[in-house]
């Protein structure tokens, strides 16, 4: 299987999923704010346990 045929197959699959899929995706804002919250929590935990003693 060549690179061009693989790319064409992936593009076809992406187009089918975009137009004909019945999957309800999460809101982009919900996903973004959730990821931001998780990263801020990890940053807080890292700085909390990394204090000089």
Q: What is the pLDDT averaged over residues 38-52?
A: 89
* 7-44: pLDDT as tens digits: 888 777 776 655 555 556 778 888 899 999 999 999 99
Q: What is the pLDDT of residue 52?
A: 67
Query: Under 8 Å CB-to-CB from 23, ≥6 apart: which residues?
Result: 17
Q: What is the pLDDT of residue 43?
A: 94
Q: What is the pLDDT of residue 7?
A: 82
Q: What is the pLDDT of residue 19?
A: 58
Q: What is the pLDDT of residue 29?
A: 87
What are the CA-CA distances from residue 23 to residues 3, 6, 15, 45 (Å)?
A: 29, 24, 14, 35
């Amino acid at each position: 299987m060549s690179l061009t045929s693989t790319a064409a197959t992936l593009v076809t699959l992406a187009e089918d999923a975009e137009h004909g899929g019945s999957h309800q995706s999460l809101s982009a804002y919900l996903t973004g704010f959730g990821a931001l919250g998780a990263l801020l929590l990890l940053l807080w935990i890292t700085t909390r346990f990394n204090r000089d003693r």
